[in-house]
């Protein structure tokens, strides 16, 4: 029996953008997959999508994130060796209550469930490149601090930040072997450009294509890194089988992503559309009315010049022969897909 046949993966968030490609990658490697689904309809849609992408049906199980235990019987999951939590809500404009329910409460219920699995070798929890601390421990927020952080950062980012800390704390309390994955902006498949997540940078590109982007937000050094969804899925599958990843966090992003103004020029040149020459500093965008800037206030914290500790992730990927696809190719094929164009595969 080979290593992949000994593995059984349980995927929470299996019907989402990242989750579908993760299930696809696991199944393509011959790993037994149990996809946690919220409804029978979403399960059928997942199976149809997998079939259309060359992968046979996988086992599914209904899950309820509002219930303790997620509505699952741990006795039916005794053969699960690795769990991936890529579930959650990625959207702006949520209330703090909505965001905490989706991104904090649900994640903690996952930790508490998997602590009961007898064969569990690893829980891989998807966090975020802007919220996970590079070093140091995690501390829970007081009610006052929570209110302040949700007001300052917005519900989405604050809930991801709170979830990251509380998942680490609860996993340590329960002895759950945990690895944190911190991807940057996840964009389309590196070959086909396929993606259905239309927030953040995707919105900026669509605005650029139709002439609605009147200025580039931020300065010339603004860094909004990307990672293709297929690279991310491949990387995630490496984590449970690499002993050194236990207790570690990995930043998964392509350092070769050009600064935002150049990124937009690459896409603008490919689409043959003009790119605004005017840039607006982030501090000014924050002060101008959103009706003028067309910028969602919750996206502004992602307009940063920060760089990230990617060396451990790059080393792990290199040991397994995994390399980033050319970033210009990733960006242009993603842009083509967003706009309903056929990617130029010979580019």
Q: Note the pLDDT tens digit of each residue in 45-61.
A: 999 999 999 998 999 99
Helix (H, G, I), strand (E, B) or coil at 283: helix
Residues 111-163 pLDDT 10s? 999 999 999 999 999 998 988 776 656 788 899 999 999 888 888 888 998 99
Q: Are 25 and 233 in contact (CB under 8 A)?
A: yes
Residue 94, CA atoms < 13 Å, CB-side half-sphere: 23
Contact between 295 and 214 (Cβ < 8 Å): no
Residue numbers of the chain with a pLDDT score lower than 70: 1-5, 134-137, 282-301, 343-347
pTM across the whole model: 0.92
So what's the pLDDT on residue 311?
98
Q: What is the pLDDT of residue 155?
A: 87
H helix runs in 101-250, sequence order: 106-114, 143-153, 155-174, 201-209, 229-238
pLDDT of residue 197: 81
Q: Identify the pLDDT of residue 347.
A: 41
Distance CA 121, CA 295 (A): 42
pLDDT of residue 27: 98
DSSP 173-214: HHT--EEEEEE-EEE--TTT------STHHHHHHHHHTT---
Q: How far apart are CA 63 and CA 268, in angstroms?
A: 42
């Amino acid at each position: 029996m080979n290593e992949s046949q000994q593995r059984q993966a349980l995927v929470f968030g299996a019907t989402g953008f990242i989750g579908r490609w993760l299930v696809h990658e696991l199944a393509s490697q011959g790993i037994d997959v149990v996809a946690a689904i919220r409804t029978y309809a979403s399960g059928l849609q997942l199976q149809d999508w997998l079939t259309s992408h060359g992968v046979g049906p996988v086992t599914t199980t209904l899950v309820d994130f509002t219930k303790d235990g997620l509505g699952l019987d741990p006795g039916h999951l005794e053969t699960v060796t690795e769990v991936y939590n890529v579930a959650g809500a990625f959207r702006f404009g949520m209330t703090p209550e909505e965001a905490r329910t989706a991104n904090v409460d649900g994640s903690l219920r996952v930790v508490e469930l998997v602590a009961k699995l007898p064969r569990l070798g690893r829980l891989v929890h998807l966090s975020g490149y802007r919220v996970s601390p590079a070093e140091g421990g995690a501390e829970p927020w007081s009610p006052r601090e929570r209110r302040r952080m949700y007001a300052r950062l917005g519900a989405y980012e604050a809930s991801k930040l709170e979830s990251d800390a509380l998942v680490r704390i609860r996993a340590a309390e329960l002895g759950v072997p945990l690895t944190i994955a911190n991807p940057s902006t996840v964009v389309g498949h590196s070959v086909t450009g396929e993606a259905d997540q239309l927030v953040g940078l995707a919105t900026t590109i669509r605005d650029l294509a139709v002439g609605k982007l009147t200025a580039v937000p931020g300065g010339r050094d603004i860094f909004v890194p990307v990672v293709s969804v297929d690279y991310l899925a491949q990387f995630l599958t490496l984590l449970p089988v690499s002993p050194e990843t236990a207790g570690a966090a990995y930043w998964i992003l392509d350092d070769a992503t050009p600064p935002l103004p150049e990124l937009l020029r690459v896409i603008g040149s490919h689409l043959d559309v003009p790119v605004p020459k005017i840039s607006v500093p982030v501090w000014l965008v924050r002060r101008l009315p959103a009706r003028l800037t067309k910028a969602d206030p919750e996206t502004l914290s992602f307009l940063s010049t920060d760089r990230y500790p990617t060396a451990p992730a790059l080393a792990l990927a290199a040991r397994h022969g995994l390399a980033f696809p050319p970033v210009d190719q990733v960006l242009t094929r993603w842009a083509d897909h967003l706009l309903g164009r056929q990617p130029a595969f010979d580019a």
